[in-house]
């Protein structure tokens, strides 16, 4: 049906009015308070009468941090005959940080913790005449130390540069095969190897089950001479300290002199390499060994394994809060006189997170 022109003119004002009313309603809806966002699937419902705050933008999300605020120490105590002392109590120990006494929060007489071991084998050209000595030492140590389904080790060699030959495993057959395949040649990047191993130990596989703590150890078999590293000695030591790894060194240097008793040879000269090996051990709470014969070698590794099972665990909360990430010296003393106490010399204090969550 067709409408006349007069009919269409009468409808036009009504249409204009209707559109105006709709525009007013839309504007009112835009200026009103928006409804709260719908929760994601599976989220608990909001309480009645409460508007949940808007979610943080990705750049505003604070980083996740897990900080215990405790300094952990593994302590070895021996008498003057180098026999391990394992019967001390918490009251027998005193911990000093930068000379200030600290309160011991946790104490354990035995550290039967899972081991994470970095075995570093010097395969440089300078070690060629003694490589078989190194390989026998490495295999012997692992066979006497690793516990099935609990401990893990990785093998790293270093000549011109460090290289992980066998990653973390508890399989002695894999580790032994990897060790026996090594050949000598090239320079010696010792510091780079220690640095790389320390970084790897910082991200070691966690133990299975509920246990979260582990013992990080570097076993270095070398003559201690470095001629090719990009890293300085101080950087390598710092990396070990930061990873909380104890460095045990076994020297392959054969500069010896038998004195008085041929059955008890003594080291007549500590050369530069020997001093470096000693420094790594001293700074990290490990120990340096200078075996003379194969029998001495076996005894050295037996002592390392025994020491790892005959130590004390001490944890304390520093009295002075960490503010600068500075290096802090540690000294552990015992009330019993005449004992030798060995632990790491210090640590780097981690500054607390800032109020805005920045690192």
Residue 44 is predicted with a pLDDT of 40
Question: How far is residue 354's CA from residue 111's CA, in Å, rounded to a whole number?
Answer: 35
Average pLDDT over residues 8-19: 44
Whole-structure pTM value: 0.76
Q: Which of helix, strand or coil describes residue 274?
A: helix
Contact between 288 and 261 (Cβ < 8 Å): no
- Within a 10 A sphere around the Cβ of 130, how many other Cβ atoms? 19
Average pLDDT over residues 23-31: 42
Residue 291 is predicted with a pLDDT of 82
Q: HEC string of 197-256? A: HHHHHHCCCCCCCCCCCCEEEEEEEECCCCCCCCCCHHHHHHHHHHHCCEEEEEECCCCC
Antiparallel, parallel or unpaired: β 162-169 and 93-97: unpaired
State the residue for tokens 């101080």. Answer: 234
For the chain, percent of residues with pLDDT exceeding 90: 55
Least confident of 51-55, 124-128, 191-195, 248-252: 51-55
Residue 134 is predicted with a pLDDT of 81
Contact between 114 and 150 (Cβ < 8 Å): yes
| More confidently predicted of 136 and 232 | 232
Contact between 143 and 133 (Cβ < 8 Å): no
pLDDT, one tens digit per residue, over 308-354 is: 989 999 999 999 887 777 899 999 999 999 999 999 999 998 765 55
**Structural domains of the chain ordered from first start:** 71-91+99-109+314-348 (no CATH), 115-308 (3.40.50.410)
Q: pLDDT class for 61, splitting at 50, 70, 90?
A: very low
| More confidently predicted of 255 and 198 | 198
């Amino acid at each position: 049906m067709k409408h006349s022109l007069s009919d269409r003119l009468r409808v036009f004002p009504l249409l204009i009015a209707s559109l105006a009313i709709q525009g007013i309603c839309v504007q009112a809806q835009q200026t009103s308070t928006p409804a709260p966002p719908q929760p994601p699937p599976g989220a608990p419902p909001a309480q009645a009468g409460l508007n949940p705050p808007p979610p943080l933008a990705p750049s505003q999300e604070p980083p996740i941090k897990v900080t215990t605020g405790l300094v952990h120490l593994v302590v070895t105590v021996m008498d003057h005959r180098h026999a391990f002392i394992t019967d001390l109590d918490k009251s027998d120990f005193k911990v000093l940080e930068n000379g200030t006494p600290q309160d011991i929060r946790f104490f354990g007489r035995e550290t039967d913790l899972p081991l994470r071991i970095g075995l570093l084998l010097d395969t440089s050209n300078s070690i060629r005449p003694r490589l078989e000595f190194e390989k026998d030492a490495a295999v012997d140590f692992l066979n006497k130390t690793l516990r099935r389904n609990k401990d893990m080790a990785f093998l790293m060699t270093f000549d011109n540069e460090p290289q992980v030959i066998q990653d973390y495993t508890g399989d002695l057959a894999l580790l032994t095969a990897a060790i026996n395949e090594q050949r000598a040649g090239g320079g010696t990047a010792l510091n780079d190897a220690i640095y790389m191993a320390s970084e790897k130990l910082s991200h070691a596989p966690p133990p299975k089950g509920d246990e979260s703590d582990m013992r990080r150890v570097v076993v270095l078999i070398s003559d201690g001479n470095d001629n090719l590293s990009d890293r300085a000695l101080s950087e390598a030591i710092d990396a070990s300290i930061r990873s909380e790894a104890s460095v045990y060194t076994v020297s392959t240097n054969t500069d010896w002199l038998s004195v008085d008793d041929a059955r008890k040879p003594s080291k007549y000269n500590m050369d530069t390499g020997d001093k470096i090996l000693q420094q790594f051990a001293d700074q990290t709470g490990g120990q340096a060994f200078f075996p003379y014969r194969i029998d001495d070698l076996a005894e050295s590794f037996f002592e390392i394994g025994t020491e790892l099972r005959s130590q004390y665990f001490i944890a304390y909360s520093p009295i002075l809060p960490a503010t600068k990430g500075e290096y802090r010296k540690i000294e552990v003393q015992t009330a019993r006189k005449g004992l030798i106490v060995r632990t790491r010399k210090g640590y780097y204090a981690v500054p607390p997170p800032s109020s805005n969550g920045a690192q």
